[in-house]
Structure 1
Amino acid sequence: MTTKRFGIAGAGFSGAVIARELAEAGHEVTVFETRDHVAGNCHTERDPETSVMIHRYGPHIFHTGNERVWEYVNRFGTMMPYNHRVRTTVGGRVYLLPVNLLTINQLFETALNPAEARAFIAEQADSTIGEPRNFEEQALKFMGRRLYEAFFLGYTTKQWGLPPTEIPAAVLRRLPLRFSYEDSYFNHPHQAIPRDGYTSIVQQILDHPRIEVLLSTGYGVADRGQFDHSIWTGPLDAWFDYRFGRLGYRTLDFEEIRDTGDHIGCAVMNYGDVEVPYTRIAEHKHFAPWEEHEGTVCFRETSRLAGEGDIPYYPIRLANDKSVLGQYLDAARAEAGVTFVGRLGTYRYLDMDVTIGEALTAADGILDAIGSGAAVPSLFVDA
């Protein structure tokens, strides 16, 4: 086998997993990371004052039904069982999320059983709407006005910075209601948070003699010549120097709150009223219920449009962005010597388990191409 040299932009899960797979196959890898730490937006660190494990860029809950991915993360750290539950404050009252049987009965002051609740919501739904043209019509067709206005209108408006009438119907892919009292936020068989944080896991993934990690170091066009192939996990439009314009993202601002004892009494409290400027408060010690802390650290989150210097969190993917995205994807497919992966590299919102799974698939494809002497594809997913 001929040893290849790979340059990887980004030390989040995408870059780290691919780096490890290539290194274990005998190749040399250099990982470039613009931040002063690995793990990207999953970065965790101990708060020096309280010892609470902080999810620096917002809460990250690991959940998956992919056995390969589950086995993979367990190679590099201890995953502690964690069942994520979310509450929401609306109109001066606290409700359970996702919207379930208790939420419905609380809001409508009823005592419906599952069958009665299904029939009741069917009566609330707006049957005059044919093919929904936007998020609001999709919600009204599914659940009716009262549920929509209580739990979706305000939060969605704040999260996207747009009225729901301007958001595609596809964003609300399915009826987000449960006709039971189950309030676990996710329903995957594996739900956990790493005991020592996500950064520790990524550090372990990158701990290989054939991997060099360069922190606070960007990967530029000039660096490409050092390597046989590049892996790009940064923004797709940045690779092409924004030649077709910038793709849109939402970013988050965090306001820190310190207290003793409990501040909100749960891991995440959403705020659905549009008059409340922030979307949620996360109390981070509740993400590690196996630990005990006297002090507490919370972060109040506010969503806004990302500027040039902001950290991109959520791809907008509205009509204009999809048009620009098509041009970038065509350019990416024609680009030789580089593979685009991950949330930023393919301009998609991805959960951690999907990110890891796609990185493993990409690594398999890269190694197969090398073994067969074929050109390495620029994309392994339909973005």
Structure 2
Amino acid sequence: MTRKSLLMVGAGLSGAVLARELAQAGHRVTVLDARDHVAGNCHTQRDPDTGVLVHVYGPHIFHTDDQQVWDYVNRFGRFRPYTHRVKTTSGGRVYTMPMNLHTINQFFDMALSPQEARALVAAKAQTLPEPPRNFEEQALSMLGADLYEAFFKGYTAKQWGCDPTALPAAILKRLPLRFSYDDNYFFHRYQGMPEDGYTPIVAAMLDHPAITVSLNTRFTKDMARGFDHVFYSGPLDSWFGQDSGALGYRTLDFERLTHDGDYQGCAVMNYADAAIPHTRITEHKYFAPWEEHARSVCYREVSRACETEDIPYYPIRLAEDKSLLSDYIRRARKETGVTFVGRLGTYRYLDMDVTIREALDCAAMFRDHAAHDQTMPAFAVTP
């Protein structure tokens, strides 16, 4: 095997996993990141005033059914059991999310069995064109108007900055509807939080003699010179200077609050009413329930359109974005010496476990291509 000189643009999960895997395979790896820390948007740090471990860019809960991914992250740090439970304030009352039997009974002021609740929701569901053409039609055909308007219509408009009729139906399909009292937000076999946060785990991945990390370093394409291959986890459109236009993202503004004792009694409180500008408040000490803190750190979140200097969080992927994305994909496939990876590089919403799985698979693909002296494609996974 010829030892390659590789450049990873981004020290988040994609870049760190790829760097570790390819360094262990005998390659030399340089990792660049524009920020002053590793771990990307899952960066965590201790708040100096309260001692609370804060998820600096919003909470990240690790959940997966992928045994290999679960074993992989546990190589680099200890994960503690964590069950994510979410509450929602709607119309001045607090409900459990995701929507389950408790939510339905409380909302309709009833004491229904699972079968009775299923029948009630089915009776309220509206008959609409098949398949549903947008988020609102999907919600109305699943839940009916009462539940949709109480829990989803206002929240969705705030989160995405557009009317729910402009959003694809698939967004709602990711949210479960349960006819039991199960209030575990996720349904995966493995769920947990890293005891010391995500940043030490990513730092441990990057702790290898064949890896060099350079922070506070904003990538420019001339930096690729001298490397045999580049793995780019920055925004796909930024590789081309956004010369065909900017892909649409939502970003988040955080208002930090401190409080003596508990502030809201749960990790996440969503605010479904359209009249309340923020989408949720997160209380970070609840993400580490094995710790005890006399004071609390909370983030009030407001979603808005992402501008040039903002951190992109969620790809919007409306019709105009998909058309522009197709153009950038076509151009990317004509590039040589670069593979686009991760959430930003492929313009997709990815959970952490999927990000790691794709990075592991991408590393395996590169090892195979290098062994057979083949050119690595622009995408290991098609956006």
Could you say whether these structures have the same fold, taking a TM-score greater than 0.5 normalized by the shorter chain as the test? Answer: yes
Distance across 1 between alignment mates of 2:254 and 2:314: 15
1:93-148 deviation digits (Å, cap 9, x = unpaired) = 00000000000000011111111111111100002444322211111111100000
Distance across 1 between alignment mates of 2:128 and 2:8: 52
**Structure 1: 4+ residue segments shifted above 4 A:** none
CA spacing shift, 1:131–1:345, aligned 2, 3 Å: same
Cα contact 2:98–2:175 (8 A) shared by 1: no
218-227 or 353-362: bigger deviation: 218-227
Q: How does 1:178-193 map to 2 (within 5 A)?
A: 178-193=178-193
Q: How does 1:201-350 map to 2 (within 5 A)?
A: 201-350=201-350
- Displacement of 1:70 in angstroms is 0.4
SS at match of 1:226: coil
Distance across 2 between alignment mates of 1:128 and 1:74: 46
Cα contact 1:69–1:353 (8 A) shared by 2: yes
Cα contact 1:366–1:377 (8 A) shared by 2: no
1:47-99 deviation digits (Å, cap 9, x = unpaired) = 00111000000000000000110010000000011000000000010000000
- What letter is aligned with 1:300? R
Q: Who is 2:87 aligned against? A: 87
- Displacement of 1:174 in angstroms is 6.0
Cα contact 1:129–1:141 (8 A) shared by 2: no
SS at match of 2:333: helix
Q: How does 1:140-219 map to 2 (within 5 A)?
A: 140-173=140-173, 176-219=176-219
SS at match of 2:63: strand
- Displacement of 1:378 in angstroms is 1.2
SS at match of 1:126: coil
Distance across 1 between alignment mates of 2:101 and 2:91: 19
SS at match of 1:172: helix
CA spacing shift, 1:267–1:175, aligned 2, 3 Å: closer
Aligned length in residues: 383
TM-score (norm 1): 0.99
Cα contact 2:128–2:137 (8 A) shared by 1: no
Cα contact 1:249–1:315 (8 A) shared by 2: yes
173-182 or 269-278: bigger deviation: 173-182
CA spacing shift, 1:174–1:306, aligned 2, 3 Å: closer
Distance across 1 between alignment mates of 2:62 and 2:103: 25
Q: Who is 1:352 aligned against? A: 352
Q: Which runs of 5+ in 2 are unaligned?
A: none
- What letter is aligned with 2:41? N
Q: Who is 2:29 aligned against? A: 29
- What letter is aligned with 2:255? E
Distance across 2 between alignment mates of 1:31 and 1:263: 39
TM-score (norm 2): 0.99
- Displacement of 1:176 in angstroms is 3.2
Cα contact 2:33–2:217 (8 A) shared by 1: yes
1:139-168 deviation digits (Å, cap 9, x = unpaired) = 111110000001100110100011111112
Q: How does 1:98-177 map to 2 (within 5 A)?
A: 98-173=98-173, 176-177=176-177
Cα contact 1:8–1:231 (8 A) shared by 2: yes
Cα contact 1:142–1:175 (8 A) shared by 2: no
- Displacement of 1:177 in angstroms is 1.1
- Aligned-pair identity in percent equals 61
